[in-house]
Amino acid sequence: MNAKPLSLLTFAIEATEQGDRFVLDVSPSDGSGVRRYTVSGPDPDAFSALFDVLHADFGIRHPHHVERTADYPAPPWRPLITGNLHPRILTGYGDPAVLRCDDGWWLVATSNDAPDAFPILHSADLATWQPRGFVFEEGRTPAWTAAGLRVGDFWAPEIARVGDDYWLSYTARALDRTLAIGLARAAHPAGPWQDNGEPLLTGAVIDSHVHVDADGTPWLLWKKDSNSLWPRPLAALLRDNPGLIPRLFENEGDRRTAAFCAAIQPFANSRRPMERFFLMQPLIRAALANWRKVKPALEESGVADHVIENMATPIYAQPIAADGRSLLGRPTLLLANDLDWEGHLIEGPYLTRQNDRYFLFYAGNDFTSPSYGIGYAVADRLTGPYRKAPEPLLRSHPDWSAPGHASVSVGPDGEPHLFFHAFHPGTGGYNVFRALLTVGLQFDGDEVRLVP
């Protein structure tokens, strides 16, 4: 292909739907002619296959190619569940919430669009785990949620003991396809779980966590899902202002990636939320690779305020009413992404009180990338101000990739342990299996240390 300098290369794309399949006719501006691509369905593998070919044809970023991870001494982490334990658990144990009770440890985890929402598992020793059903089995998801394969998105459940009950907060798509936070309760972690019947919080919000403070007051922590709001507007901005592309992106592959995503953005707008994410994911990865350049260049452009404002993902906290059906007062901003390693987001908050200080663990960067990791911040009061550790506490290693979304519970030694997910090396992506790992924690002043 005799391509022009990449800053000048653009694409025209015509999309035709054929049931679950769609066909893309792609015309690059170098005059090399129309190329046709068939996407076999709405699942992640179909989009991965599309970007395999686009990468070969045009050098566009493949968002599912896993970069090489840094080789350094392995953390003292310990794998707990590294394979599937039940055929109805489809994607493993992402966003794991582990709670120590009198009868052992209880685990709930993300289920994405599986028919059964939120697997429940139990262990008496952290070595052997037994599946104990689901929070919401197929056909019993709350009426306010969108459910089913390629329809539902059930993410990040968290269990807390509140008074005599257990509360479970979670993320789901409401019937209008927006992300909302729900709350259910049970007398025991095994259930049965009774949902409130309506969302506790709406408006592009995810990754809730219930923290019960020393005085017994339950607090809800959550993340504003702003990172889902900027990629398509950025693509539209680049389509209308192609001269911005070479100002934002340094290498040819990333410039082609930006040009392609700009061209396909109108079609992406017509797809369901996860397909929009799949189509924009190459642009996200390209932006992250150029993060120090992207935001300043957008600010200098003077036409990107609507994009820039969503490149921060704030984490908030707010008291919950005693009946668990509403929030009290006003939300307090705890953290936002402002460190280089965090990239375009922080998420997955988990708050624990240790030695009269509040330690807020969180994940940062792109969950499908080895750049994803776990950081923490510390404060003297629940509402802050929080002081961040400058570097992640856990990051990718050749043994395990993209550790993230942690919870804290008591280990067999009676000391606090961090429980988190990670991908097997060389893997990553939506609906890809995530394993459960743990590592011991030691709190010393403002610092957190990892111990075996």
pLDDT digits over 164-173, tens only? 999 999 999 9
Q: What are phi and psi of 313, to 5 degrees?
A: -115, 95
Greater confidence (417 vs 62) lies with 417
Instruction: Tell me the pLDDT band of 2, cut-offs 50, 70 and 90.
Output: very low
Does residue 4 surpass a pLDDT of 80? no
Total domains in the fold of the chain: 2
Helix count and strand count (H, E) for the chain: 7, 25
Are residues 213 and 139 part of one domain? yes
- How far is it between the farthest Cα atoms of the chain? 70
> Is the pLDDT assigned to residue 335 strictly greater than 50?
yes
Q: Are residues 204 and 350 in the same domain?
A: yes
Contact between residue 152 and residue 90 where contact means Cβ atoms under 8 Å apart: no
- Write the pLDDT tens digit of every residue in 68-88: 788 899 999 999 999 999 999
Task: Give the alpha-carbon dihedral of 409, 209, 130, 436, to 10 degrees.
Answer: -70
pLDDT given at position 387: 98
Task: In whole angstroms, give the CA distance from residue 187 to residue 193.
Answer: 8
Alpha carbon distances (Å) from 35 to 29, 42, 87: 12, 21, 40
Let me know: does 148 contact 113? Beta carbons within 8 Å. yes
Q: What is the pLDDT of residues 262-304, one digit of tens each?
A: 999 999 999 999 999 999 999 999 999 999 999 999 999 999 9
Inter-residue contact 148 to 139 (CB < 8 Å): no
Is residue 197 domain-shared with residue 86, that is, in the same domain? yes
Say if residue 139 is in the same domain as residue 197.
yes
Task: Please tell me whether residues 289 and 437 are part of one structural domain.
Answer: no
Centre a 10 Å sphere on the Cβ of residue 207 and count the other Cβ atoms it contains: 28
Mean pLDDT over the full length of the chain: 95
The answer on pLDDT for 64 being more than 80 is: no
Q: Are residues 204 and 353 in the same domain?
A: yes
Bond before 385 cis per omega within 30 degrees: yes
Domain boundary among 308, 333, 353: 308
pLDDT of residue 425: 92
In angstroms, the CA 196 to CA 326 distance is 10
pLDDT band per the 50, 70, 90 thresholds, residue 376: very high
369 domain residue, yes or no:
yes
Q: Which of 266, 281, 308 is the last residue of a domain?
A: 308
- Which residues does 50 contact at the CB level (< 8 Å), separation at least 6? 24, 37, 39
1 located within any domain: no
| Mode of pairing for the β-strands spanning 416-423 and 434-444 | antiparallel
The structure tokens listed for 136 are: 């919401």
On the question of pLDDT at 3 being above 70, the answer is no
Do the domain assignments include residue 334?
A: yes
CA quadruple 98, 150, 179, 92: dihedral, nearest 10: 10
pLDDT above 80 for 6: no
Same domain, yes or no: 344 and 442: yes
How far apart, in whole angstroms, are the C-alpha atoms of residue 219 and residue 359?
15
Rounded Cα distance between 324 and 326, Å, is: 6
**Higher-pLDDT residue of 220, 295:** 220
7 has pLDDT over 60:
no
Question: Which distant-in-sequence residues (6+ apart) come within 8 Å of 239 by Cβ?
Answer: 262, 263, 265
Q: What is the mean pLDDT of residues 351-370?
A: 96
With pLDDT > 70 as the criterion, what percentage of the chain qualifies? Answer: 98
19 and 118 fall within a common domain: no
The reply to whether 328 and 402 lie within a common domain is: yes
Which CATH number does the domain housing residue 177 bear?
A: 2.115.10.20
Q: Which residues contact 234 (CB under 8 A, 6 or more apart)?
A: 283, 287, 298, 304, 307
> What is the C-alpha R_g of the chain?
22
Q: What does the pLDDT read at residue 8?
A: 59
Question: How wide is the angle at C-alpha 415 spanned by C-alphas 412 and 419, nearest 5°?
Answer: 75
Residue 441 is assigned to a structural domain of this protein = yes
Asked if 115 and 256 sit in the same domain, the reply is no
Average pLDDT over residues 331-342: 97
Claim to verify: residue 249 and residue 346 sit in the same structural domain: no
User: How far is Cα of residue 147 from the mean position of the Cα atoms in its chain?
Assistant: 19
Evaluate whether residue 289 is within a structural domain: yes
Q: Which residue has the tokens 């109108």?
A: 266
**Which domain covers residue 40, as residue numbers?**
6-67+230-308
Residues 345 and 212 in one domain: yes
The pLDDT score that the predictor gives to residue 326 is 98
Residue that is last in its domain, among 275, 308, 341: 308
Pairing of strands 35-39, 416-423: unpaired
Indicate whether 190 belongs to any domain.
yes
Q: What is the pLDDT of residues 100-137, one digit of tens each?
A: 999 999 999 999 999 999 999 999 999 999 999 999 99
Q: Is 72 domain-assigned?
A: no
Query: Does residue 73 lie in a domain region?
Result: no
